[in-house]
Chains A and B, each alone.
Chain A
């Protein structure tokens, strides 16, 4: 069983910190992820809003590109994960769609047998396949005293993931207890960040973002852990504008869970992409972990 890696477009630029930390953590854990050669965009929600057959065909190209050496395709981004999984399922269960996707792929000289590739979210692979024992064994910098708010958002847990509860997921919570963090149990961890709504109707999007930040702040979180580029972008890049709009003073760092996992594994913060977030995370993390961290980074 070998794992192919589908980074997705956001991880190339806006969410480079996610990509950097995924690669660093995977290497530190002695695990292998091979980037899928010449992958294309999953289309997020935007092809599905226009043409279902084009949407599924564009996504199916990626499934078809997975070679015989690999039977797992790992996506860190929520939208990519759902789209790849949804397309595999549509092809398996809807013969009419499959027949047409087959023809579209054939026009590019490709074919895909549904079910051949297991689409997995990165959290599932870290939690299930690498697992508690292997991760605990590699922790050199416990996150003791750091209050983290795990944020799952929507499309990793709904509707198809099969590895966690769609409304009250716990896998990321559990993983951070392995790392010694204080995990904040707050009520909006699987609520929506608004997705692309910031581009359509700003005020409505700001309210959705405000609810998340408010809840995490009410529960005295030091930072929010996220698993999706869109969630990170909405809560981080728009945090200043949300503050202006509602006259609030949120100053909550929004980091990828792999960045904090990397800190716990003793990886240098620069290699994990810290410093790219607009609400600075490093001072908060250093203040909480102070004495313990000096040894690990100097």
Chain B
């Protein structure tokens, strides 16, 4: 845990990141060793590697971090988390930064939030993921050209019986929706 005297010196951004990440208080122990960025399969595509992001969080550079592509390049492979000598839950911090960027309207530079929203909209409605619906709706609105490029592989998948054209709905979808509604309501409380 962060000692009281220490906590007083944390940037507001750091406090918010810690509050939004289970186990997130370890981020203050970052040594700036760079194992995270060096291990990351997408590190070379990131505006700032996780190491740099942690320094920027300490320096309260909120907008620069939340507008960066870093967390959207994270595909949750957890290699950085497995290797971090300070046991910082780096992947979980990336999730927290994604949530903060969406909440604060700063995630405009990536298509990932649109994909996430399309995916969960279908689950909210049916209780199951619906690959065909997600791919068509997401690509149509975000990447219409990719849709054409994927046409061939999509047809092959269909021919192999791997593309269901209608969603599966769970029986107790109302129960699931009640749970989701309550969770949304509670998450708006603080």
Residues of A within 8 A of B (CB): 9-10, 12-16, 38-41, 43-54, 56-58, 61, 90, 93-94, 97, 100-101, 103-110, 153-155, 158-159, 166-167, 191-192, 194-197, 199-202, 204, 208, 237-238, 240-241, 275-278
Contact = CB atoms under 8 A, between A and B. Distances in A.
Given A49-B99, A61-B179, A94-B22, A154 B162 contact: no
By size class, the interface of chain B is 35 or more
A38 B112 contact: no
Interface string B147-164: 001001100110011111
A101 B117 CA distance: 21
Contacts, number: 202
Interface in B67-118: 72-73, 75-79, 81-83, 91, 95-96, 98-99, 102, 110-113, 115-117
Nearest 6 CB-CB pairs, A to B?
A: A107-B182, A158-B78, A154-B77, A9-B129, A192-B77, A195-B75
B77 A155 contact: yes
Contacts of B186: 53, 100, 103-104
B39 to A, nearest CB: 9
A31 B183 CA distance: 37
A13 B131 contact: yes
Contact of A159 (B91, B130, B175, B180): B91
Contact of B79 (A9, A192, A204): A192
A167 B82 contact: yes
Given A39-B170, A46-B119, A104-B179, A14 B187 contact: no
A96 B79 CA distance: 28
Interface of B: 20, 22, 41-42, 45, 72-73, 75-79, 81-83, 91, 95-96, 98-99, 102, 110-113, 115-117, 119-120, 123, 127-131, 135, 138-139, 143, 146, 149, 152-153, 156-157, 160-164, 168, 170-172, 175-176, 178-184, 186-187
A52 B111 contact: no
A101 B83 CA distance: 30
A46 B120 contact: yes
Give the one of A15, A58, A93 with max B CB within 10 A.
Answer: A58
B95 A14 contact: no
Contact of A199 (B102, B138, B164): B138
A158 B153 contact: no
Contacts of B176: 40, 58, 61, 108
B79 to A, nearest CB: 7
Given A40-B128, A41-B123, A200-B72, A50 B99 contact: yes
7 contacts: A40-B123, A40-B170, A51-B183, A100-B183, A101-B183, A154-B76, A275-B160
B145 to A, nearest CB: 10
Nearest to A208: B41
A14 B162 CA distance: 4
Contacts of B172: 38, 108
A278 B119 contact: no
Contacts of B127: 40-41
B26 to A, nearest CB: 13
Contacts of A202: 146
A44 B122 CA distance: 13
Contacts of A61: 175-176, 179
A276 B161 contact: yes
Contacts of A9: 128-131, 168
Contacts of A196: 75, 112, 115
Contacts of B22: 90, 93-94, 97
Nearest to B40: A192
Contacts of A275: 160
Nearest to B76: A45
A53 B77 contact: no
B170 A158 contact: no
